[in-house]
Structure 1
């Protein structure tokens, strides 16, 4: 006897399969323990699905520039603090506990070659569901993701000595560490240098000589997520208020930036653009004011901060004392950002 296939029978069959699946899930017989692992065909299917998804979404959801090889210290520092526990790093074995996950975190030195730069950018920025791979802590910082892609491309050939050179710096000879927990300073100077001058990296600001309250406020803003940076949000999240104050005092006491008048002639610094309600930099950034020191700061860092503020559309009131810069920065002509940053960097502020 041959059964005729009708829409009614198809719907009933689908309903029966759904009901059977729900009953199986309800029974608790489905094995979810990480110790049981996946069947090989399940592991292959999930990984194949992930690769296909990454390839598709990275084609449409990544910017034109997805890799930056010019500044690797901050990326390496973040990798050591946030990624090496699961993936390991040159000279550092991954945590056995994290390797007992299902699936275990891969050795990136052997797997990054399976993906192009756009795919790596997408994975680092968005993470991967059901694998423990998180998204980048701040989705508003593609510049940080680009630097991480540049670091990952170097990873397969990187030696333990090279990785240590990127992530470690000698401890300062003298330091006021009152109120600072042991080991905290080492994590900071790995990127910012024992002298607080940023190890010559374009993306790392000069902290030495900065006003201590400006440094403490910045750390608090990073820790709360109010200020966007995947690298710094992770670094600041574990700091106590006393840690933040101690670090601020330590770097502020170093020779570096000085609280001196800005000796510059750029019109935006002196006059601003009154017709566009853009105040002069000197209105706030001069001796006697509470605004951070910017004279002598690294030009690339100033320019990057101004562009980041221009993209911040959440702040609309320039009179708010805790967040005036997004509104002010949006009034700066885009073609003036780099000349303005260079002029401020050349000011005898350190």
Structure 2
């Protein structure tokens, strides 16, 4: 009986090692033959898209879990609105504002934030703005902006859902009352 169990265990180990080796060979072959199309005009395969999106979302949630957002003030939201229009609008658009034409050539497509920000917590938006996302065209603003500026931007982004185009436009005019309803 022991001999059969030993052979079974050996067989499983050989199968696992064989699968790992075969996977490594396939991976190296894809890398060195250029088989994977990296063109920004072609979307990822569905499995690759799922893996990348799921990895990004769970990575951000994990890394942002210990961040405590401050209270968002009208002044923070107003300041963040001006920053958003200067730095983010060209890729993410805004209420009544489309993203820039050149940003439509980015893959993955930057999301229209008024439509998707409800899927994120403020701490996660802060983390994304501060650290960026590799290979997505989302830059890290942490090296060039302090946490106070990033929180102001986060405060504004969290206000985007349901914001009217008129209210959005007021932020670009430097209207400090833009944070009021």
TM-score of the superposed pair, with normalisation by structure 1:
0.44
Structure-2 residue corresponding to 1:330: none
Structure-2 residue corresponding to 1:100: 105
Residue 86 of structure 1: CA displacement? Answer: 0.6
| 1:47-196 aligned within 5 A | 47-60=53-66, 62=67, 64-71=68-75, 72-138=77-143, 141-168=146-173, 190=174
Residue 16 of structure 1: CA displacement? Answer: 3.8
CA distance in 2, matches of 1:88, 1:122: 20
Residue 107 of structure 1: CA displacement? Answer: 0.8
Task: Indicate how the Cα distance of structure 1 residues 140 and 153 shifts in structure 2: closer, same or farther if over 3 A, else same.
Answer: closer
Residue deviations 1:303-346 (CA, integer Å, cap 9, x gap): xxxxxxxxxxxxxxxxxxxxxxxxxxxxxxxxxxxxxxxxxxxx
Q: How many equivalent pairs are there?
A: 169
Contact 1:75–1:144 (CA under 8 A) maintained in structure 2: yes
Moved over 3 A (4+): 6-13, 137-140
Task: Indicate how the Cα distance of structure 1 residues 43 and 14 shifts in structure 2: closer, same or farther if over 3 A, else same.
Answer: closer
Residue deviations 1:101-152 (CA, integer Å, cap 9, x gap): 2110101001110111211221121112221111114466111121112111
Contact 1:125–1:135 (CA under 8 A) maintained in structure 2: yes
Contact 2:131–2:142 (CA under 8 A) maintained in structure 1: no
Task: Indicate how the Cα distance of structure 1 residues 161 and 111 shifts in structure 2: closer, same or farther if over 3 A, else same.
Answer: same
The reply on whether 1:35 has 2:33 as its aligned counterpart is: no
RMSD: 2.6
The reply on whether 1:17 has 2:30 as its aligned counterpart is: no
1:131 aligned counterpart, secondary structure: coil
Higher mean Cα deviation, 64-73 or 102-111?
64-73
CA distance in 1, matches of 2:18, 2:47: 29
Q: Which runs of 5+ in 2 are unaligned?
A: 1-6
Residue 67 of structure 1: CA displacement? Answer: 5.0
Task: Indicate how the Cα distance of structure 1 residues 20 and 154 shifts in structure 2: closer, same or farther if over 3 A, else same.
Answer: closer
Residue deviations 1:46-65 (CA, integer Å, cap 9, x gap): 212211111111113x2x33
Q: Which has the higher contact order (CA 8 A, sep 6+)?
A: 2
Task: Indicate how the Cα distance of structure 1 residues 32 and 67 shifts in structure 2: closer, same or farther if over 3 A, else same.
Answer: farther
User: Over alpha carbons, which structure has the higher Rg?
Assistant: 1
CA distance in 2, matches of 1:42, 1:76: 34
CA distance in 2, matches of 1:52, 1:15: 28
Q: Which runs of 5+ in 1 are unaligned?
A: 169-189, 192-198, 201-350
